[in-house]
Amino acid sequence: LPPPKSSYLDSLRAKQDSTMSTLSHERPTTPPPSSHPLPEPSSVQSRRSGRDSMGGLESDPWGSPQLHRGHAHAQTEHEHGALNGYGSVRSTTNAWSSGKSTDGGNPSEPSNLSRPNGRSDVTPSSAGSGFGWGDSFGHTSDGGGLGGPVRAGLGGDFSQPGSDPNESNPRRRSLGLGRVTTPPVNEMVTVTLLQEKEGMFMFQHRNYEVKSARRCSTVVRRYSDFVWLLDCLHKRYPFRQLPLLPPKRISVNGTHLAADSTSFLEKRRRGLVRFTNALVQHPVLSQEQLVVMFLTVPTELSVWRKQATISVQDEFMGRVLPPDLEDSLPSTLSDTFDTVRTGVKRSAEVYINLCTLLERLAKRNEGLAADHLRFSLALQSLTEMTRDTYAIDRNDVPLLNDGIQATARHLSASQTLLEDEARAWENGVLEDLKRQRDCLVSVREMFDRRDRYARNNIPQLERRIESNERKLQDLRTKPPATVKAGEIEKVEESIFKDKESIVQQHARGVFIQECLRDELVYFQQSQYHISRLHQDWSQERVKYSELQADNWRSLSDQVEGMPLGE
């Protein structure tokens, strides 16, 4: 068609051409990039990614109207979906996975400034693939972000079969699809026992102050709140590595011991510390809203539970199986599970025994320290009787008493060192051993839950489908007059429901396999905790051995002047 002739359109075209020519003369041209660019240091890339994700110096990530007052920015509305009814989540996926922005480039070319905060449009497949929490353990990024080039070799047999290690950003799907997962931060939570009790007489309970420095939150919880949280996690995440709770009370031969003893309360408090820190350091459980609310809601948890809408359905409920997920899992995954389960079961028994033995060693150190104190007191009392004992010639008695008192002092110093060492064992290496023991037992229980909850009735459904299909063929071959009304539709509906159930159960089985794979990848990091445990304990033993050696060396110098009668 011929172009329309209009004076108004001609004037617009002329004005646009003049504007573009003026801009092309005023804007300096960008030199062509070199064929061999110099590699950037990781610090520069991290600063650039942080700057791009915030959209420049004037960009407000929360879209504050006060900051943009008087600016000529285009206002774009965004829809934020609520996360389990607890508020909106602002995704920062694009800031990590997008490429480098071009500063000072052609304004007619698309850039990250086409979206607020410097974000670029990313398709859901590119934003969601390879963004599960398991990826941070199976691969590490050289580019400082989660979408950079990937190094292979850290995932072991859990890597995708047939994948190219040199491929940039290979597709690897993890179980946390659709979940906002950030790199795990070494968060530490402290649990303090409050001295005063609460409740009516004969029904009193103790409270614990749970404090998180990173979340800037301090809440008060009772032991039953921890039990409720773990019960909810068992229902929602049965195939995860769930931490262990310390017992409420201890019974020996059917007799409950005193639950208010100082030693038992301290052991239970330390067990709650291990439980809470295992939750906040887990890459999936730490993102669970129940855990977040447990650590941050300042009100009493029983009151909050009545007001909040809590969902404890299985994490796989309603999830659609991706077409490439089943093929991405290694074929030897079941054998790997059996091997790990056998090793974990035997290791857990050994660590349970190690914790018992170390508790005995610590108690023996305390007993040895008490004997050193008794020895020191006996020597001090001996100096009071030496003058009367050697009354014939008392010239050497002062030097003799000085040596005895020096031995008593150094025995007392040795007693203090032994007590400090026993206390350091209880707070250090013993807690490290118990943490490793809890980790192994939690993995062992995870496999036990798989045996109970990962069952399916697919073989029975397949046999019923075959029977119904034969029945359907017989009904269709019969004369229509002899078939009851709606009987064929009823059989067809039964076949359809059985096939749909088979698809859902098969998808759930694949999700369970992937979930266990990711949990074992996370559990793999516990081996480095064992290394730190042995290093710290050996350094501690060296320190106290040197202190004891210095103490006895000083005693040896001081008793040199004791009389020998020569």
The residue that leads in pLDDT, 129 or 17, is 17
Q: Are residues 382 and 451 in the same domain?
A: yes
The residue that leads in pLDDT, 525 or 144, is 525
Q: Are residues 154 and 177 in the same domain?
A: yes
Q: Are residues 169 and 199 in the same domain?
A: no
Q: Is residue 108 a part of any domain in this protein? A: no
Which of 82-86, 360-364, 407-411, 444-448 has the lowest average pLDDT?
82-86
Q: What CATH number should be reported for the domain holding residue 447?
A: 1.20.1270.60
> How many Å apart are CA 473 and CA 429, to the nearest integer?
71
> Phi, psi (5° rounding) for residue 299?
-80, 175
Q: What CATH number should be reported for the domain holding residue 262?
A: 3.30.1520.10
Q: Are residues 157 and 223 in the same domain?
A: no
Q: What is the mean pLDDT of residues 526-549?
A: 96
Inform me whether the pLDDT recorded for 175 exceeds 70. no
* Residues 6 or more apart in contact with residue 347 via CB below 8 angstroms: 440
> Concatenated DSSP letters for 333-370?
HHHHHHHHHHHHHHHHHHHHHHHHHHHHHHHHHHHHHH
CA dihedral 60, 62, 63, 68 (to 10 degrees): -40
How many domains are there within the chain?
A: 3
Q: Are residues 362 and 420 in the same domain?
A: yes
> How many Å apart are CA 40 and CA 169, to the nearest integer?
19
- Among 149-158, 192-201, 235-244, 300-309, the range with the most confident prediction by mean pLDDT is 235-244
Q: Are residues 207 and 245 in the same domain?
A: yes
Neighbour tally for 31: CB within 10 Å: 6
**Residue-averaged pLDDT of the chain:** 76
pLDDT digits (tens, 9 = 90+) for 252-298: 655 556 566 788 899 999 999 999 999 999 999 999 999 999 999 99
Which of 99-113, 192-206, 409-423, 551-565 has the lowest average pLDDT?
99-113
Q: Is residue 247 a part of any domain in this protein? A: yes
Domain carrying residue 252 = 189-311
Computed over its alpha carbons, how large is the radius of gyration of the chain?
Answer: 35
Cα–Cα distances (Å) from 2 to 15, 129, 143, in that order, read 22, 48, 53
Q: What is the mean pLDDT of residues 247-256?
A: 68
Q: Is residue 346 a part of any domain in this protein? A: no
Q: Are residues 156 and 212 in the same domain?
A: no
The residue that leads in pLDDT, 472 or 258, is 472
> How many Å apart are CA 224 and CA 198, to the nearest integer?
13
Q: Is residue 68 a part of any domain in this protein? A: no
Q: Are residues 540 and 422 in the same domain?
A: yes
> How many Å apart are CA 479 and CA 425, to the nearest integer?
85
* Residues 6 or more apart in contact with residue 73 via CB below 8 angstroms: none
pLDDT computed for residue 196 by the predictor: 81
pLDDT digits (tens, 9 = 90+) for 35-63: 444 444 444 444 444 444 444 444 343 34
Q: Is residue 361 a part of any domain in this protein? A: yes
Q: Is residue 246 a part of any domain in this protein? A: yes
Residue 129 amino acid letter: S
Q: Are residues 426 and 551 in the same domain?
A: yes
Residue 79 amino acid letter: E
> How many Å apart are CA 131 and CA 143, to the nearest integer?
15
Q: Are residues 172 and 221 in the same domain?
A: no
pLDDT computed for residue 255 by the predictor: 59
DSSP letter (8 states) at residue 40: P
Q: Are residues 425 and 496 in the same domain?
A: yes
> Phi, psi (5° rounding) for residue 301?
-65, -35
Decide: pTM greater than 0.75.
no
pLDDT digits (tens, 9 = 90+) for 140-173: 344 433 334 434 333 444 444 444 444 444 444 4
Q: Are residues 386 and 502 in the same domain?
A: yes
Q: How confident is the model at residue 319 (pLDDT cuts 50, 70, 90)?
A: confident
pLDDT computed for residue 379 by the predictor: 94
Inform me whether the pLDDT recorded for 123 exceeds 80. no
Inform me whether the pLDDT recorded for 472 exceeds 60. yes
> How many Å apart are CA 80 and CA 313, to the nearest integer?
23
